[in-house]
Amino acid sequence: MIALLTGRVESLEAGSCIVDVGGVGYLVQASTRTLSALPGPPALARVLIETVVREDAILLYGFAESAEREWFRLLTTVQGVGAKVALSILSALAPRDLIGAIASADRASLTRVPGVGPKLAIRLLTELREKAGAMPSGGATMAVGLPSGGVSGDALSALGNLGYRRMEAQPVVDRVLERLGAAASLDAVIRESLRELAR
């Protein structure tokens, strides 16, 4: 199985690229995020690969970072999510944003992705809610268990685990708590804070 390609970028197209390794051109399908991270032809590039073997083809999917490849593998375990839809999701949402959408049950973010309807969005949120905590976010992982420290402290800890710096998260959490009141649930505070931070 091919796990990595290092070679010259021969061409970049919508949804794919060709990587020339020792005179052999490999067609690699990738998200727009990965394709935009690749240098223009004829520069050298290193692409992480997920090889998918089917009866009629051997397909290569490329990733600029391991977090995106791990998410691709997880997404394709969900019924109704093939490689094309998984790449579409990863084109629209970076791993960190995907963790945030799942943590806050943000169905709207998922249904904006081409190929993801309301039923599939619900299935993604349901099936991935438990698994998302162990997934890489491209720099940090979401905490499964949150340390205690009041709703504010727990929300800041959760946002920190999603990759947000305390400096940017603190004022947002304070505003959300002021708006929702002291009795606000942790889930509500995190969800509203993520909405504000995403703007």
Instruction: Please tell me the pTM assigned to this model.
Output: 0.66
Answer yes or no: is 159 within a domain: yes
Q: Are residues 46 and 73 in the same domain?
A: no
Answer yes or no: is 113 within a domain: yes
Range of the domain at 42: 4-63
Q: Are residues 59 and 46 in the same domain?
A: yes
- CATH number, domain of 25, equals 2.40.50.140
Looking at the predicted structure, is the pLDDT value of residue 150 above 80? no
Residue 169 — pLDDT band, cuts 50, 70, 90?
A: confident
Answer yes or no: is 51 within a domain: yes
Answer yes or no: is 117 within a domain: yes
Domain tally, the chain: 3
pLDDT tens digit string along 14-52?
A: 899 999 999 999 999 999 989 988 888 888 889 999 999
Q: Are residues 76 and 123 in the same domain?
A: yes
Max distance between CA atoms of the chain, in angstroms, equals 64
- CATH number, domain of 117, equals 1.10.150.20
Q: How much is the mean pLDDT over the chain? A: 85
pLDDT tens digit string along 47-96?
A: 999 999 989 999 999 998 888 999 999 999 999 999 999 999 999 998 88
Q: What is the pLDDT of residue 161?
A: 66
Q: Are residues 39 and 93 in the same domain?
A: no
Phi, psi (5° rounding) for residue 43?
-70, 160
Residues 6+ apart with CB under 8 A from 59: 29, 51, 52, 53, 83
Q: Which two tokens stand for residue 150?
A: 């009041």
